[in-house]
A and B are shown apart, each in its own frame.
Chain A
Amino acid sequence: MAEQSKVTFIITRQDGPDAAPYEETFEVPYRQNMNVISALMEIRQNPVNSKGERTTPVMWDMNCLEEVCGACSMVINGTARQSCAALVDQLEQPIRLEPMSTFPVVRDLIVDRERMFDALKQVKAWIPIDGTHDLGPGPRMPEKKRQWAYELSKCMTCGVCLEACPNVNDSSNFIGPAAISQARLFNAHPTGEMNASDRLNGLMEAGGIDGCGNSQNCVQVCPKGIPLTTSIAAMNRATNIQAFKNFFGSDTAL
């Protein structure tokens, strides 16, 4: 690979939340095993575009650099994924980088994923154990259940499933696959189960689970391989049963 000394990046940039997006091309010296993030770091060190003009460094979000934090999601050659795990050797050139279009852009490749955290609040994706006195140990979790629940717990709120989902957009209020799967995770927990109906009712609120149109892109693109469509179907079943309980009455309805 001695002759291929440069890697071309075409990056969709945006100077601020309300600014117009534009494309800028960069040529980055090739290094073995480089990933998209190390190329972006190279641009940051020497922010000169392919025309030789000095420009502002490209901004992006990152944290763990090992595909567990979810911060560095962006659209790479048309597909949303983690930039830390995107190896330059495996990408078609020129490499096109864009911010995820489902989320408001903060600057360049940085997006605001706040709607995902709002979604977690809507489905109460936590276990309320705070109290004024020690409640003692909780109920035990069967090992078999723990194994599949662990897969769901790998969600890093990266937003890739929302970006790929055709029903998460400006004209729809669909909550997206991630929060639906998280509701299932916390409902599977033996202590979390005690508040299962709160999460199900959250999923049934406006913009909840009903917006799913079964395109199943989410499960194809999830970088952690979470069985999102299984979670959606499981929560479909649970919310339907909850709806009947709410209407006809049940001791476990509330």
Chain B
Amino acid sequence: MAEQREFFFRRLHSLLGVVPIGIFLVQHLFINHLAVYGEEKFNAAANFMHELPFVLVLETLVIYLPILFHAILGVYIVFTSRYSTRRYGFFRNWMFAIQRFTGIVLVIFIAWHVFETRVQVGLGNVDVNYSLMEGILSSTPMFWFYVVGVLSAVFHFANGLWSFLVTWGITQTPKSQRVSTYVCLVIFLAVGYLGVRSLIAFAYGV
């Protein structure tokens, strides 16, 4: 059994990417989308989330620890692959490479994003509300940094969901894998819209 630790960690890595991290991402972008409906709506939702009982325990168990584990093992996985899109330019090989590239982007983006928002809120420097995000995103370079970060996250989630289905042996046949590619593409477009639309709302107030 001891030799099967690697198998266990890789399966845990795959599971955590969807439950809870993927679910958290979608929920996060849904709540952000309230920014499109107005500042008060967003602030009410942000306050509700911020004032959940045992919020730090919830955040640690559902967000911090899973993401930390997924990121650390993920970086290891990224650097043990030999990328070959030039020789083997197949669609899935590109997805494989982009999945790992967005993973590295996300380590940087999430570290920055958490420092700028959650850590600052924790230190009491800022309050979690609409104007915090408005202040960050009114700078054009930060706006584009967030667009890249959000789209990377959504791609990593949507394509990761496709691999999750293979890793857990749910989609076996080429046909089911092809159909799940399209399903994941729709998820990418839909969740990506949610995320980018709310960034535009924060940055430009429209």
Residues of A within 8 A of B (CB): 78-79, 164, 166-167, 169, 171-172, 201, 204-217, 220-221, 227, 229-230, 232-241, 243, 246
Question: Contacts A210-B10, A215-B93, A239-B7 given: A169-B168 contact, CB under 8 Å?
Answer: no
**Most-contacted residue by chain A among B7, B81, B171 (CB, 10 A):** B7
Residues of B within 8 A of A (CB): 1, 3-11, 77, 79-84, 87-88, 90, 92-93, 95-97, 100, 162-163, 166-174, 177
**How distant is A75 from chain B, measured CB to nearest CB, in Å?**
9
**10 nearest A-B residue pairs (beta carbon):** A237-B169, A215-B96, A210-B10, A216-B92, A233-B172, A236-B169, A169-B82, A204-B7, A172-B80, A210-B7
CA distance A227 to B169 in the complex (A): 15
Q: How many pairs, one residue from A and one from B, have CB atoms within 8 Å of each other in the complex? A: 109
Contact B174 A220, beta carbon cutoff 8 Å:
no
CA distance A146 to B88 in the complex (A): 32
Q: What residues of chain B lie closer than 8 Å to A213, measured between beta carbons?
A: 77, 81, 96, 100, 163
Contact B77 A166, beta carbon cutoff 8 Å:
no
Contact B81 A232, beta carbon cutoff 8 Å:
no
Question: Contacts A169-B81, A207-B6, A230-B174 given: A214-B88 contact, CB under 8 Å?
Answer: no
Question: Contacts A166-B81, A206-B3, A243-B7 given: A214-B96 contact, CB under 8 Å?
Answer: yes
Q: What residues of chain B lie closer than 8 Å to A237, measured between beta carbons?
A: 168-170, 172
Contact A209 B166, beta carbon cutoff 8 Å:
no
Q: What residues of chain A lie closer than 8 Å to B177, measured between beta carbons?
A: 229, 233
Instruction: Give A219's nearest chain B residue, CB to CB.
Output: B174
Q: What residues of chain B lie closer than 8 Å to A171, measured between beta carbons?
A: 79-80
Describe B's contact surface by its main secondary structure.
Answer: helix
Question: Contacts A79-B87, A230-B173 given: A214-B167 contact, CB under 8 Å?
Answer: yes
Contact B90 A220, beta carbon cutoff 8 Å:
yes
**Most-contacted residue by chain B among A171, A217, A246 (CB, 10 A):** A217
Partner of B166, one of A217, A227, A236, A239: A236
Q: What residues of chain B lie closer than 8 Å to A210, measured between beta carbons?
A: 6-7, 9-11
Q: What residues of chain A lie closer than 8 Å to B81, measured between beta carbons?
A: 166-167, 169, 172, 213
CA distance A221 to B93 in the complex (A): 12
Subset of 24 A-B contacts with CB under 8 Å: A166-B81, A166-B96, A167-B80, A171-B79, A205-B3, A207-B6, A208-B7, A209-B7, A213-B77, A213-B163, A214-B162, A214-B166, A216-B90, A216-B92, A216-B96, A217-B90, A217-B92, A221-B88, A227-B174, A229-B177, A233-B171, A234-B172, A237-B172, A246-B4
**How distant is A149 from chain B, measured CB to nearest CB, in Å?**
15
**Most-contacted residue by chain B among A205, A233, A234, A235 (CB, 10 A):** A233
Q: What residues of chain A lie closer than 8 Å to B84, measured between beta carbons?
A: 164, 166, 217
**How distant is A152 from chain B, measured CB to nearest CB, in Å?**
14
Q: What residues of chain A lie closer than 8 Å to B79, measured between beta carbons?
A: 171
Contact A234 B80, beta carbon cutoff 8 Å:
no
CA distance A74 to B173 in the complex (A): 29
CA distance A164 to B5 in the complex (A): 27
Instruction: Give B167's nearest chain A residue, CB to CB.
Output: A236
Partner of B93, one of A169, A208, A216, A241: A216
**How distant is B135 from chain A, measured CB to nearest CB, in Å?**
39
Contact B168 A236, beta carbon cutoff 8 Å:
yes
**How distant is B66 from chain A, measured CB to nearest CB, in Å?**
18
Q: What residues of chain A lie closer than 8 Å to B163, measured between beta carbons?
A: 213-214
CA distance A216 to B96 in the complex (A): 9
**How distant is B126 from chain A, measured CB to nearest CB, in Å?**
39
Q: What residues of chain B lie closer than 8 Å to A240, measured between beta carbons?
A: 11, 168-169
Q: What residues of chain B lie closer than 8 Å to A246, measured between beta carbons?
A: 1, 4
Instruction: Give B77's nearest chain A residue, CB to CB.
Output: A213
**How distant is B18 from chain A, measured CB to nearest CB, in Å?**
14
Question: Contacts A240-B11, A243-B7 given: A215-B166 contact, CB under 8 Å?
Answer: no
Partner of B82, one of A166, A207, A221: A166
**How distant is B80 from chain A, measured CB to nearest CB, in Å?**
4
CA distance A230 to B167 in the complex (A): 11
Identify 12 new A-B residue pairs, CB closer than 8 A, beyond the known A204-B7, A246-B1: A167-B81, A209-B7, A210-B9, A214-B92, A214-B167, A216-B90, A221-B88, A229-B166, A230-B172, A233-B171, A234-B169, A236-B168
